Amino acid sequence: MIIIPEIFRPFPEIIAAQSTKLGGVSPEPYGMNLSSHVGDEQANVDENRRLLFESLGIPNGVRQVYQNQVHSANVRYVRGDEGILKENDALVTKEANVLLGVTVADCTPILLYDPNTKLIAAVHAGWRGTEQMIALAAVRKMIELGAEPKNIYAFIGASASRDKYEVGLEVATLFEEKHLVALEGQKYLLDVKGANLDQLLYVGIPREQIEVSPLCSISDERLHSYRRDGKKSGRMLALIMRKA
């Protein structure tokens, strides 16, 4: 099972996807794990990536850029030879045949494309990054590079949903009331997807050009979830690449 964003289907030059827990070679509970930092064997991770890329038609040897995600508002423009960036949570490029990837297991992945400037972006938005407006920062970086919000298409991926993502008062106070559902004992349900959607709308991306995945990583056993499985959780990969 691979999640393919519908929003990018009009653009055959774009390869975009989000992996799930299904289809990998890693032993349970990892399954299709795409992270090298959760206790899985590196050989399994490499084979899982190979299988995913092969199924998406991504050629061998394509340049790949990832990041050491730290729940920040740090955005970097990349050219494709960076490998893994330190302390970063959003990647932007206009280079062809450069794959941008973010790994998640409840946090929200966001993929962006402007067909006019050929800019793409991959964003990692946990609640901390969302509170720091990482999605807004990524779009503003694209604007600096010539993009207009009215031309940007966006995918907000499968992640923890408002129905399941419970937080305490100290986190809830950082968000608008409309993104919260109050529970008993100073507990709340937080809508991280909704908060990121509002950031994209605020910066001027038309609503009809934004797709929000309805899938919840916590409740859907086909997806990796750190909140549900703890240290036994693997990671999903959300990726975007523009073919030459």
pLDDT tens digit sequence for 134-157: 999 999 999 999 999 999 999 999
**Rounded alpha-carbon distances, angstroms, from residue 193 to 15, 97, 197, 215:** 22, 28, 6, 11
- Please report the pLDDT score of residue 180 as a whole number: 97
Number of structural domains found in the chain = 1
Domain residues for 26? 2-160+206-242
- Residues 218, 79 contacting (CB under 8 angstroms): no
- Residues 106, 218 contacting (CB under 8 angstroms): yes
What are the beta bridge partners of residue 102?
A: 238
Does a structural domain hold residue 191? no
- Please report the pLDDT score of residue 149 as a whole number: 98
- Please report the pLDDT score of residue 60 as a whole number: 84
76 phi and psi angles, rounded to 5 deg: -130, 135
Which amino acid is present at 234?
G
Is the per-residue pLDDT at 208 higher than 90? Answer: yes
Average pLDDT, the chain: 96
Does a structural domain hold residue 101? yes
Q: How confident is the model at residue 94 (pLDDT cuts 50, 70, 90)?
A: very high
Does a structural domain hold residue 64? yes
Q: What is the CATH number of the domain that holds 88?
A: 3.60.140.10
